Amino acid sequence: MFFIIGLWRNEKSRQIILQIFVLLFIGWFLSWLAGNVASNFSALGKDISFDFLSIPAGYDINQYLIEYNSRDTHLRAAIVGLLNTGLVAVLGIILATVLGVSVGIIRLSNNWLASKIAYWYVEFTRNVPILLQILLWHGIIINSLPHPRSALNIGDVSFLSNRGFYIPKPILENGIELVYLFSVIAIIFAFLFYKFSKKKQELTGVQYPVLWINLSAIIILPIMGYFISGMPVSLEIPVLKGFNFVGGIHMSPELSALTFALGVYTAAFISEIVRAGILAIDKGQKEAAASIGLKPSKIMKLVVLPQARRIIIPPLTSQYLNLTKNSSLAIAIGYMDLVATLGGISLNQTGREMETMVLVMAIYLSISLSISAFMNWYNNRVKLVGR
């Protein structure tokens, strides 16, 4: 008895005991929840099974990154939906980051007109529900662009209509391996040159045009491999057949509208995060940089943004997560993402509501945790290290 009282009075042992009780309670609650679900399903005469994933899906998907047809399984349809979710999330994050950082900087501009335009963009965009913006941009694309027979012709190889944007599809042939090899060499060179130039700048203060040199290497080396290997890439040009184009790479209007709406909406929040991060930097930093002759653009690039980045990244992670989860609204305009495929049509056809929803939730949880883990890793890389 005295031993137990002594353990409880010790702060460290008391914390461990409380954590053990919390874990036991969580384990009991989860086991009770699972048993309750199993008993309810048993009462309804249903079992929990994922065998439906091997059954033919029987429905078409209008946007896919891997080959798919209606005879493929529900599992492949779910994978196609997952890739579509990943595609719109990546494109949306890129657009939101570039636009958000730009607008955040413009809001602090001395140009009154530019600052006010950025201000009204932020206030309007973030106060209008994202679903309405998705519907708005989808309606604009569908109703403003011409029909396929009157599509905008771009060099007789690309076509833009209200059915989507069609561009040539590269067909890889024998010898493409050399192009891959040259691409890998270019990436390795870019990484090593970046490390070298950074170390050189720290030691001597000499700055190399890293961006242009690395960009040139990444572009020129693969092109060299392409010509040396005998140009092993041909193009499949989209062709109008019937009422629509066939062949090439298709970017559906649903993908365009969803990406643009998510990017523009999230950029409004990112711009405020960037603006707050910049304002948090002491003005003495800017004055010191200006005193040694740095131009305003260089001050922002070399002095302000690197310091503000440490403030910006944590809330920026939340916006990336919000954008990825908001992509589930794609079902409103018929974009076949994970929710529309596995959590929508597959659920209705198979009647496996519990299994499909568990899979959808688990996948979104995995995606969110992956984004958080990557951003936390990056945040640790750029944070200030105490001496």
Same-domain status, 32 and 104: no
> Which DSSP letter does residue 192 get?
H
Q: 365 in a domain, yes or no?
A: yes
Same-domain status, 133 and 16: no
Same-domain status, 261 and 325: yes
d(CA 365, CA 360): 9
CATH number for the domain harbouring residue 333: 1.10.3720.10
Point out the domain boundary residue: 205, 236, 267. 236
Q: 106 in a domain, yes or no?
A: yes
Q: 387 in a domain, yes or no?
A: no
What element of type H or E holds 254? helix 253-279
pTM above 0.85, yes or no: no
Burial 79-88 (b: 16+ CB within 10 A, else e): bbbbbbbbbb
Q: 174 in a domain, yes or no?
A: yes
User: Residue written as tokens 């499949």?
Assistant: 236
Q: 241 in a domain, yes or no?
A: no
d(CA 337, CA 326): 11
Q: 48 in a domain, yes or no?
A: no
| Torsion sign (Cα): 318, 320, 326, 328 | negative
- pLDDT per position in the chain (387 positions), as tens? 555 666 666 777 778 878 888 899 999 998 888 888 777 777 777 777 788 888 998 888 888 888 888 889 999 999 999 999 999 999 999 999 999 999 998 998 888 898 999 999 999 999 999 999 999 999 998 888 888 888 888 888 888 888 888 888 888 888 888 888 989 999 999 999 888 888 887 788 777 888 888 888 889 988 888 888 888 888 888 888 877 888 888 888 999 999 999 999 999 999 999 999 888 888 888 778 888 877 877 788 778 888 888 888 989 999 999 999 999 999 889 899 999 999 889 988 888 888 898 899 999 999 999 999 999 888 887 775 544
Q: 244 in a domain, yes or no?
A: no
Same-domain status, 346 and 283: yes
Same-domain status, 125 and 190: no
Alpha-carbon separation of residue 297 from 208, 288, 290, 302 (angstroms): 17, 14, 11, 9
Considering its fold, how many domains does the chain have in total? 3
Q: 245 in a domain, yes or no?
A: no
Same-domain status, 158 and 95: yes
Same-domain status, 262 and 371: yes
d(CA 138, CA 155): 26
Question: Which parts of the chain are beta strand (E)?
Answer: 152-154, 158-161, 164-167, 169-172, 233-236, 239-241, 244-246, 249-251
Same-domain status, 220 and 134: no
Same-domain status, 224 and 283: no
Same-domain status, 264 and 161: yes
| Token code pair at residue 221 | 């080396």
Same-domain status, 38 and 116: no
Point out the domain boundary residue: 213, 236, 259. 236
The number of beta carbons lying within 10 Å of the beta carbon of residue 17 is 14
User: Residue written as tokens 């493929």?
Assistant: 72
For residue 10, give its domain range. 2-43
Same-domain status, 226 and 255: no
Alpha-carbon separation of residue 284 from 65, 125, 277, 290 (angstroms): 50, 33, 15, 10
